[in-house]
Chains A and B, each alone.
Chain A
C-alpha cells in the first residue's frame, strides 16, 4: 500500500533506460568522460597514498616514541629520583590487563669523551633482555649483559667522531647531591666499547645495562621509571588510570599527557590526514559537478526531446544521476588500482628513511573500501545538482531554439 502511494507520487523510473542513456551520453563525448574519470581516479589515486603515508608517519612516530621509546604509560616516584624494588613492582604491573611489558629503566646525567671531544648525554640503564627498549639500533649490535659496552646515539657519535667498536670514556653523575660530587667526586668514570648506534629519539643519549648502572648508583633494584607498553596506544589513558589504582603513591602518566610534543605531532598528522581526505573528496566532487553541469548545458536539446517523448523529470534525473554513478564507479576502480600500485611502490621506496625512522604507507583494505565508497557517493552527490537542473529544464524554449 505504502509502495503504491509512493509510486503514485513519484511515478516509475526505468533504471535500465536510465543506465542505457547515461552510458550512451557518456560515450558521446569521450574526452569529457575521460576527463571526469581521470578527475575521480586522480582524487583517489593521490588521496589514498597521501593519507596512507600520513597514517604510516603516525604509526612510525608512535612506534619510535612509544614502542622504541618511553612506553605508553610511565611510572615515576612522586618525590626523589628513584623507585626502590622496581623489579618486583614491574613484575606486578606486567600482569595488569592490556600490559604487554613493564620495563624498569634508570637514568643519570653523564658526559662522553673521545678523540679529545666531549658531549653531555643522558645515560639510561636498560635491561638488555627486555622485550622493549627505549631506542632502535641503527648500526652495530644490541646491548649485551657485559658492563663495558654502550649503545651511543648517532648524534653523540657524530659529535665525538666515533663509530661502532670504538672506545669512549663515560663519566656518570652517580650522586643526586652536588655537594657530594665536590666532596668525594661522586661520579663514575668508565671506559666502554661502542656496541651499537641508536637513532631518532635516542640519538642524543647513551644506553648501558641497568643492573650495572643501578649497581653503580648503589642498588641494582633501583629505577628512575617503569615504562609500561601496550599494543593499544590509544588506550594509554585508561591503562594509566588502572595502573594508578595499583600504585597510588607513584606518579603515573600516559604518553598523551607526558609527551606534549608527541601528542601535538600525532594530532597534527591526524588533522593533515583529515584535510587530505577532504581535499580528495573535493577533488572528486568539483570536477564531476562542473563537467556534468557543462554536459547538461550541452545536452539541453536532447533533454527537450526526451521530455517530448514522454520522459518524466524523474527519468531525466535518474539518467543524469546514473552518469555520475558510472563516472564514480569507473573513476573509483581506476583510482583504486592506481592508489594500491602507488602504495605498494611507496612501501618498497619510502618517502622518508632516516636513522631507522621509516615512513611506510599504511593502507588497511577497509580504509580503501571506505574511501572508494565515499568517492562514489561524492560523485553521485556532485551529480545531483546537474541532474536536478536537467530535470527542471523547461523543454518548450529549448525545442523552439530560443534558449
Chain B
C-alpha cells in the first residue's frame, strides 16, 4: 500500500532539545492530490515540511516517499531522492541570483541527466508554459517576486517529481502575482505530482483538495474540499 502513496508519514516526532516541535504527526498524500497546511507561526509547519522533504529528520516515526524510507538511505541516496522525487518552492530567495531563470530551472535536470543542452531546452519549454519565455534569459536577481516564484515552480517540476513541497509560496506576493503562482502550481497536480503547501492564506488553502490545520506540533483538523467544488482547485 505504501508505494501507492506519494507520501506516507507515520507518527512523526521531532524534538529540539527537550522541546517537541512535531508531535506524533501522521499524513498520507496520494499522487495528484493537493494538501494545504495552515497554522499559526511557530506551530511546526515548516519543520514538518522539511522533515517530509528529507531536509530534516524525525526523532521518531516512519516516513515513506514514493514507497522509499529515507532513513535507510545514505547521504548520496538522500540527495538523489530529493532531486528525482521531490520538488521545493520556498517563500522567497528561491533562486540562485547569478544564474538566469532558464539556468535555475535547468540545474536540477542537468544534475540528474548530465546533459546541459537538453536540460536548458526543457527548462525553456517549462518557462514558456508559465508565460515566462521572454524572461528566460534574465538573471534571477532582476526578476520580480511573482516571476521568481513561477520560475521556482517550474524548477520544482522539471524532474517530474512525485511530491512538491511549497513553503508559503505566495507569502510575499501581491494578488496578481499570487494568482499567477497559483495557476502555475495548478500545473503541479496536473502533472500527476502530489502537492503539500504550507500557507497562511485561506484562499490558497481553499484551492487545495485537502486542508490541514496544525497547532503546537499536531495536526488538529483535516477538511476535504468537495470534489470539483472549485474549478480553480490545485488538485
Taking Cβ atoms with an 8 Å cutoff, the residues of A that contact B are 10-11, 14, 16-17, 20-21, 24-25, 27-28, 301-302, 304-315, 395-396, 399-400
Contacts and interface: CB of A to CB of B under 8 A. Distances in A.
A213 B58 CA distance: 99
Nearest to B86: A310
B79 interface: yes
A304 B77 CA distance: 17
A16 B86 contact: no
Contact of B83 (A21, A304, A310, A396): A310
Given A11-B76, A17-B107, A399-B90, A309 B114 contact: no
B166 to A, nearest CB: 12
A24 B96 CA distance: 9
Given A17-B110, A20-B116, A400-B46, 17 more contacts: A10-B76, A11-B74, A17-B111, A301-B93, A308-B88, A309-B82, A309-B111, A310-B81, A310-B108, A310-B159, A311-B79, A314-B76, A315-B79, A395-B55, A396-B47, A396-B50, A396-B55
A399 B55 contact: yes
Contacts of A14: 110-111, 114
B227 to A, nearest CB: 32
Contacts of B98: 24-25, 27-28
Contacts of A310: 79-84, 86, 108, 111-112, 159
Given A315-B111, A395-B55, A24 B79 contact: no
A312 B75 CA distance: 7
A399 B50 contact: yes
A304 B46 CA distance: 14
B113 to A, nearest CB: 10
Contact of B50 (A21, A27, A400): A400
B53 interface: yes
Given A310-B79, A310-B111, A24 B99 contact: yes
A304 to B, nearest CB: 8
Contacts of B111: 14, 17, 309-311, 315
A395 B78 CA distance: 13
* Chain B: number of interface residues, binned into ranges: 35 or more
B67 interface: no
B83 A309 contact: yes
Contacts of B167: 399
B97 interface: yes
Contact of A312 (B76, B94, B97): B76
A25 B56 CA distance: 26
Nearest to B113: A14
CB-based closest 6 A-B pairs:
A310-B83, A11-B76, A312-B79, A310-B82, A28-B98, A396-B56
Contact of A307 (B55, B76, B90): B55
Nearest to A299: B96
B102 interface: no
A20 B98 CA distance: 11
A301, A304, A308, most chain B CB atoms within 10 A: A308
B43 to A, nearest CB: 13
B150 interface: no
A20 to B, nearest CB: 8
A10 B75 CA distance: 9
Contacts of B75: 11, 312-313
Nearest to A7: B76
B155 interface: yes
A260 to B, nearest CB: 61
A16 B80 contact: no
Interface string B109-122: 01110101000000
Contacts of A20: 116
Contacts of B74: 11
A308 B83 CA distance: 8
A27 to B, nearest CB: 6
Contacts of A17: 107, 110-111
**Candidate in A10, A25, A313, A399 with the most chain B CB atoms within 10 angstroms:** A399
Interface string B48-83: 001001011000000000000000001111111111
Nearest to A304: B55
A110 to B, nearest CB: 79
Interface centre among A17, A302, A309 (most CB of B within 10 A): A309
Nearest to A26: B98
23 contacts: A10-B76, A11-B77, A11-B79, A14-B114, A16-B114, A17-B110, A24-B98, A25-B98, A28-B98, A301-B93, A302-B97, A305-B88, A307-B79, A308-B88, A308-B90, A309-B155, A310-B84, A311-B83, A312-B75, A312-B79, A314-B76, A396-B50, A399-B50
